[in-house]
Amino acid sequence: MRQIDHFIVGDSPAPTRKHQVWNPSTGEVQAEVGLGDAALLEQVVATAQRVQPAWAATNPQKRARVMFKFKELIEANMQSLAELLSSEHGKVIDDAKGDVQRGLEVIEYACGIPQVLKGEYTQGAGPGIDVYSMRQPLGIGAGITPFNFPAMIPMWMFGMAIAAGNAFILKPSERDPSVPVRLAELFVEAGAPEGLLQVVHGDKEMVDAILDHPAISAVSFVGSSDIAHYVYKRGVAAGKRIQAMGGAKNHGIVMPDADLDQVVNDLAGAAFGSAGERCMALPVVVPVGEDTAERLKEKLIPAIHALNIGVSNDPDAHYGPVVTPEHKARVEGWIDTAEKEGAEIVVDGRGFTLQGHEKGFFVGPTLIDHVTPKMESYQEEIFGPVLQIVRAHDFEDAVRLPSDHQYGNGVAIFTRNGHAAREFASRVNVGMVGINVPIPVPVSYHSFGGWKRSGFGDIDQYGTEGLKFWTKLKKVTQRWPDGGGDGSNAFVIPTMG
């Protein structure tokens, strides 16, 4: 059986514990990954401490050249990366390529690090006094990433962190760990010093070791909200800078004037693409008015029945299996819960099997109507190919539903009315808003982050916010006396008057 090792400098100690890596399409175990511990982390941190100062002293232009070469290598290896990703995650090849591509876009932004690192300068802020600022690296950063985007989210983190001059330790999900290791191999091939980017595998034991280690200055996390809150509290208590992105329950508001054919097409991808295993999926649709709800439902049913579920390498499949047998059971359990709560199961994906792949972890597309805000299945994240319909009486109701929800990651509104869209975007209590855009993930030169229980910490991912997270701002106030001294008191703070 294939063994997946850490990507570190020096020999890895023999693991005492291992985790199985499934092939979700066949339901078979395809590999094992060894889980590290605090002792392994000590070895990794020591390496990072040794290589980081020289990297920080490397001028930004030379760092950018490594990023440019890494970008070229990612593009050259796109197909093989997508195939490797699909084999462990289950998402179809085109979706896997999108995973890699969205991470690559942050690497492209990091290629411009000489420009974005520039500080500010004021000449003559006071008599003979100039003031300037500079952004400097923190030292060692770490990323703890989820299974659903094993390429994109690691690149979101380490691209900005390393370009800014830090060393980086990545702990990816043990469910699909191979792509993060491959990315690290390509990064060294691009010219990065060995030990600058290291990959360690592990579970809670490794997470706690990272959060507690005094030499790690900042940790970025993406995962479920309960764990995100835990990471935030423990990391902050240890004196670290923390950004912890949690779960989501994104809503799609459908106004009566919306183009329903376009809405249905958008929902098919946003709700069911990648088997719904996206924090920016659109699992709740909110038609405004009963007439809108009925017209939308009538169009959704045949569109959902037309979806093709297949193995991850099937070019005709719209989506593939979920990641593990436990996750399949969890998703189907939420459908059971919705039914018990009184919701109407319009299209039922429970018990779905794919001919020839009966052991695969497939869940059929599911549509649930007459869901209410009090239902637990509405309040919690399902993270599967399940679309719930929550009917809104009017526009005010549509604004209130996502605003009152415990999660505040993303929301979308579908309408032809510019005033309604502007009013909604201004008032809704959610971090990322799409207007006729079903998955409003900002481009790489903006930033990504949700509100409420979708995000803990004050600084978002990537873009200028990412640069702020992975650097500290040093402010310098300088004066160059013209010689001889003027009799001023050197122990008095100079004023700018």
With both helix axes pointing from N to C terminus, report the angle between 60-76 and 152-163 in degrees, rounded to the nearest 10: 160
d(CA 184, CA 169): 10
Annotated catalytic residue: which of 107, 209, 279, 375? 279
d(CA 33, CA 41): 16
Beta-carbon neighbour count of residue 480 at 10 Å? 8
Task: Answer yes or no: are the C-beta atoms of 456 and 246 closer than 8 Å.
Answer: yes
Tell me the two tokens of residue 55: 């990297």
Task: Answer yes or no: are the C-beta atoms of 447 and 463 closer than 8 Å.
Answer: yes
Distances in whole angstroms, Cα of residue 243 to Cα of each of 117, 328, 409: 20, 29, 14
Radius of gyration of the chain, Cα coordinates, nearest whole angstrom: 25
- The dihedral formed by the CA atoms of 357, 360, 366 and 372, expressed in degrees to the nearest 10: 170
Reply yes or no on whether 111 is catalytic.
no
Closest by Cα among 282, 287, 259 to 394: 287
The residues, ordered by sequence, that sit 6+ positions from 374 with a Cβ below 8 Å of its Cβ are none
Only one residue has tokens 């390498």, namely: 313
d(CA 118, CA 470): 14
Catalytic positions: 279
